[in-house]
């Protein structure tokens, strides 16, 4: 193992599944090499997450992965891949779906829901991460972690028992719901914990007699027990994901449970291995909700399920995990490059933890209905769009924050919210969105008469030795960002609005410099957050 192992890396990522691999990809986009350690010998060939909400597709689009993701999705239209509830698969289906049955998302996003399976996605992520300079090692686990003011030091062990030491400037713990790193850091979690355990299987069977031409994305079934789920794994009509909330009762004869769920008593059922070569056909995992009290310590950050566990209802767990990695990557990149101070990385927790708290509450609200858990005390389910597109960050990395005024589902330029999507040229068919402007450096959008802001931000960027791209918007595009002719909007590399000016007011050079210093934690005197920034918003 030691022969090929880097001993010193900018970022060490513990866990090579959805979150860890996404982090390696996003760090790679920013030119930061990482080392990913994955305990398993390979990607888990197990049907887990079954689709990406549009915002997750947007961030993978920034990393050049959207086309590859769409190529690996079933060919059915989103409308055909509707989630339904029914007593058995053969009986009447009642539509349940929010996103998958929705109208095309064109107006709000260039991306739609992508029904890709997690193992397919992880294969793409490994390839992309490696092509961007990451080292992804399977069969290697973290056994101990320590840190001082400058370094994280990790003891790692390969499958053959060989041990080695790796030093990194930062570490991302993407080691899943039972995160050993979280426990080693002494970080407690709160929440209801495990609600029940779910058993899942990969089934090969011809379900066409039950479907009779109907297509589904996922079916939530009442038989043989509430909490039964069934959905297609590919386009063939032969491969199915089967899940049950009663592993204790299903264990004795899993095939009989599949027959009862489909309503086809004579069905031929074959259970396939979930980890090739392992003989494992039934996997169980916890359905529950838990949120880490802190998102890390010092140079170590928790991300994905290591930080937050939530029921899969609504697909919010995957989105939250992917956006965690996306939020952290650009911040670490700027800090490692010396372009930003360390407090920029610390804004990760201030921004992402409230999002996970909200997503967890909403996943629970959906779990209550989907799995008929009346005793679960939840808030009412909110509109899914507000969860996908309507988050608002409040931190020092949002210098123009205007506090906690309500956020509309599709905020247009409000500091702390995702910058809106507008097709750049509605007459051509390039499909270029304003979202395609974001990804690496901060971007300043200005109105048609916004030269003064452009000059001021160029000057400030030069002073701080950072790159900021400037774009002048056509009036109709500017309008959809709530931007007047003399206005300006600063957008961060993750596509979230940092600061907004309605007009040219006061001393733009001074304001632009203050804004960049605050965003990048580059205030030379360590003085409190500059109050005058608010006057511009
Ligand atoms: C069996 C199962 C079924 C699921 N089904 C669904 C579903 O139907 N729908 C849904 O939305 N979500 C589902 N989920 C949840 C979804 O898969 C997770 O939200 C998502 O995988 C989170 O990704 P993650 O990378 O944060 O954590 P994980 O996927 O848990 O990955 C953590 C990785 O870290 C590795 N690791 C742990 N410790 C170490 C160490 N010390 N050294 C090296 N590597 C380490 C693990 O081997 C693992 O690969 C399921 C999860 C599981 C486990």
**Domain holding 306: CATH number?**
3.50.50.60
Nearest ligand 1 atom to the CA of 283 is 1
Pocket of ligand 1 contains residue 305 by CB under 6 Å? yes
335 with 422, same domain: the answer is no
* Residue 1, pLDDT score: 47
Residue 222 CA to ligand 1 centre (angstroms)? 27
Residue 176 CA to ligand 1 centre (angstroms)? 5
Average confidence (pLDDT) per 10 residues, the chain, 537 residues: 66 98 98 97 82 94 96 71 88 73 64 89 98 97 96 95 95 97 97 89 94 89 90 85 87 90 96 77 88 97 97 91 98 96 96 96 87 79 86 92 67 89 74 92 94 96 95 92 94 96 90 96 58 37
297 with 182, same domain: the answer is yes
Query: Residue 336, Cα to own-chain centre: how many angstroms?
Result: 22
Pocket of ligand 1 contains residue 39 by CB under 6 Å? yes
Nearest-Å Rg of the Cα atoms of the chain is 24
In a domain, 203, yes or no: no
Residue 525 CA to ligand 1 centre (angstroms)? 43
Residue 309 CA to ligand 1 centre (angstroms)? 10
347 with 375, same domain: the answer is yes
CA contacts within 13 A on the Cβ side of 528: 2
The span from the CA of 464 to the CA of 177, in Å, is 40
In a domain, 267, yes or no: no
| Alpha carbon distance, N-terminus to C-terminus of the chain | 54
CA contacts within 13 A on the Cβ side of 431: 7
Residue 101 token pair: 């049955």
Nearest ligand 1 atom to the CA of 243 is 8
- Measured by CA distance, the residue closest to atom 45 of ligand 1 is 15
Nearest-10 crossing angle of helices 18-29, 316-336? 40
Nearest ligand 1 atom to the CA of 175 is 34
The span from the CA of 519 to the CA of 525, in Å, is 15
Compute the CA torsion angle 298, 300, 302, 306 (nearest 10 deg). -120
Residue 221 CB coordination number (10 Å): 25
Q: Choose one of 386, 408, 441: the last residue of a domain.
A: 386
Residue 484 CA to ligand 1 centre (angstroms)? 46
Pocket of ligand 1 contains residue 141 by CB under 6 Å? yes
Pocket of ligand 1 contains residue 283 by CB under 6 Å? yes
Pocket of ligand 1 contains residue 323 by CB under 6 Å? no
pLDDT in tens, 253-297: 889 999 999 999 999 999 988 766 777 788 888 889 999 999 999
Pick from 15, 39, 116 the residue to mutate for probing ligand 1's pocket: most ligand atoms within 8 Å of its CB: 15
- Measured by CA distance, the residue closest to atom 50 of ligand 1 is 48
HEC sequence for 304-365: HHHCEECCCCCCHHHHHHHHHHHHHHHHHHHHHCCCCCCHHHHHHHHHHHHHHHHHHHHHHH
**3-state secondary structure at position 298:** coil
Q: Choose one of 336, 365, 386: the last residue of a domain.
A: 386
Pick from 20, 116, 305 the residue to mutate for probing ligand 1's pocket: most ligand atoms within 8 Å of its CB: 305
In a domain, 519, yes or no: yes
Residue 230 CA to ligand 1 centre (angstroms)? 20
Residue 434 token pair: 């304003």
CA contacts within 13 A on the Cβ side of 124: 21
339 with 411, same domain: the answer is no
Residue 48 token pair: 């887990």
Residue 265 CA to ligand 1 centre (angstroms)? 34
Dihedrals phi, psi of 206, to nearest 5 degrees: -95, 105
448 with 337, same domain: the answer is no
443 with 526, same domain: the answer is yes
**Quick check: 168 and 11 in contact, CB under 8 A?**
yes
Residue 50 token pair: 């079954």
**Quick check: 392 and 413 in contact, CB under 8 A?**
no
What is the CATH number for 455?
A: 3.40.30.120
In a domain, 104, yes or no: no
403 with 475, same domain: the answer is yes
Query: Residue 75, Cα to own-chain centre: how many angstroms?
Result: 23
Residue 17 CA to ligand 1 centre (angstroms)? 6
- For the chain, how are helix, strand and coil distributed in percent, rounded to 5? 30, 25, 45
> Angle at the Cα of 158 (from 155 to 164), degrees rounded to 5?
35
Pocket of ligand 1 contains residue 19 by CB under 6 Å? yes
Question: Which candidate, 254, 4, 330, places its Cα nearest to that of 139?
Answer: 4
Report CA-CA distances (Å) from 245 to 227, 242, 381.
5, 11, 22
Residue 49 CA to ligand 1 centre (angstroms)? 9
Q: Choose one of 353, 386, 419: the last residue of a domain.
A: 386
HEC sequence for 149-172: CCCEEEEEEECCCCEEEEEEEEEE
In a domain, 369, yes or no: yes
DSSP state of 437: G
Alpha helix segments (H runs only) across 192-275: 208-211, 247-250, 254-262
The span from the CA of 303 to the CA of 324, in Å, is 6
Residue 248 CB coordination number (10 Å): 11
- Measured by CA distance, the residue closest to atom 3 of ligand 1 is 48
In a domain, 25, yes or no: yes
DSSP state of 410: S
- Measured by CA distance, the residue closest to atom 51 of ligand 1 is 48
Residue 432 token pair: 């270029």
Nearest ligand 1 atom to the CA of 48 is 5
In a domain, 132, yes or no: yes
334 with 477, same domain: the answer is no
134 with 161, same domain: the answer is yes
159 with 17, same domain: the answer is yes
Number of domains in the chain: 2
The span from the CA of 119 to the CA of 121, in Å, is 5
The span from the CA of 457 to the CA of 88, in Å, is 61
> What's the domain range around 532?
399-536
Its ipTM equals: 0.95
Nearest ligand 1 atom to the CA of 19 is 25
Report CA-CA distances (Å) from 19 to 116, 293, 428, 452, 460.
16, 19, 36, 41, 35
**Quick check: 60 and 68 in contact, CB under 8 A?**
no
In a domain, 484, yes or no: yes
The span from the CA of 97 to the CA of 228, in Å, is 16
Pocket of ligand 1 contains residue 307 by CB under 6 Å? no
354 with 460, same domain: the answer is no
419 with 378, same domain: the answer is no
């Amino acid at each position: 193992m030691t022969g090929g192992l880097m001993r010193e890396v900018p970022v060490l990522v513990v866990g090579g599944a959805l979150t860890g691999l996404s982090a390696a990809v996003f760090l790679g986009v920013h030119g930061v090499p990482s080392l990913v350690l994955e305990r398993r010998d390979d990607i888990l060939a197990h049907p887990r997450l079954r689709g990406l909400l549009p915002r997750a597709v947007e961030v993978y689009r920034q990393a050049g992965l959207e086309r590859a993701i769409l190529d690996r999705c079933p060919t059915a239209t989103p409308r055909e891949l509707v989630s339904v509830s029914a007593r058995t698969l053969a009986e009447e289906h009642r539509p349940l779906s929010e996103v998958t049955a929705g109208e095309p998302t064109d107006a709000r996003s260039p991306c739609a829901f992508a029904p890709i399976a997690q193992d397919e996605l992880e294969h793409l992520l490994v390839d992309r991460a490696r092509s961007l300079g990451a080292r992804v090692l399977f069969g290697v686990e973290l056994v101990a972690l320590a840190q001082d003011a400058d370094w994280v030091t990790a003891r790692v062990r390969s499958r053959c028992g060989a041990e080695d030491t790796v030093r990194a400037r930062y570490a991302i713990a993407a080691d899943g719901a039972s995160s050993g790193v979280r426990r080693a850091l002494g970080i407690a979690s709160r929440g209801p914990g495990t609600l029940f355990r779910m058993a899942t299987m990969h089934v090969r069977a011809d379900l066409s007699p039950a479907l009779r031409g109907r297509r589904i994305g996922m079916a939530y079934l009442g038989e043989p027990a509430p909490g039964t789920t069934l959905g297609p794994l590919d386009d063939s009509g032969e491969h199915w994901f089967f899940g049950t909330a009663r592993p204790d009762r299903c264990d004795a004869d899993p095939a009989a449970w599949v027959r009862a769920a489909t309503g086809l008593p004579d069905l031929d059922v074959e259970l396939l291995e979930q980890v090739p070569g392992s003989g494992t056909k039934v996997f169980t995992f916890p359905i529950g909700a838990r949120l880490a009290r802190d998102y890390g310590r010092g140079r170590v950050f928790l991300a994905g399920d290591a930080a937050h566990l939530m029921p899969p209802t609504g697909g919010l767990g995957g989105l939250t995990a992917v956006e965690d990695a996306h939020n952290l990557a650009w911040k670490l990149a700027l800090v490692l490059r010396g372009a930003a101070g360390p407090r920029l990385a610390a804004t990760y927790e201030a921004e992402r933890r409230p999002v996970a708290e909200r997503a967890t509450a909403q996943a629970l609200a959906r779990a209550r209905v989907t799995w008929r858990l009346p005793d679960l005390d939840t808030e009412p389910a909110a509109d899914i769009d507000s969860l996908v597109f309507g988050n608002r960050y409040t931190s020092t990395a949002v210098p123009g924050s205007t506090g906690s005024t309500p956020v509309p589902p599709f905020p247009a330029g409000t500091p702390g919210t995702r910058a809106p999507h507008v097709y750049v040229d509605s007459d051509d068919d390039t499909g270029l969105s304003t979202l395609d402007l974001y990804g690496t450096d901060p971007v300043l959008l200005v109105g048609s008469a916004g030269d003064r802001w452009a000059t001021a931000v160029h000057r400030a960027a030069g002073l701080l030795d950072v790159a900021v791209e400037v774009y002048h918007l056509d009036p109709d595009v500017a309008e959809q960002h709530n931007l007047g002719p003399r206005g300006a909007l600063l957008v961060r590399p993750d596509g979230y609005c940092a600061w907004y000016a309605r007009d040219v007011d006061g001393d733009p050079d001074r304001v632009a410099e203050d804004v960049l210093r605050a965003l990048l934690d580059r205030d030379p005197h360590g003085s409190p957050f500059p109050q005058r920034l608010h006057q511009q918003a």
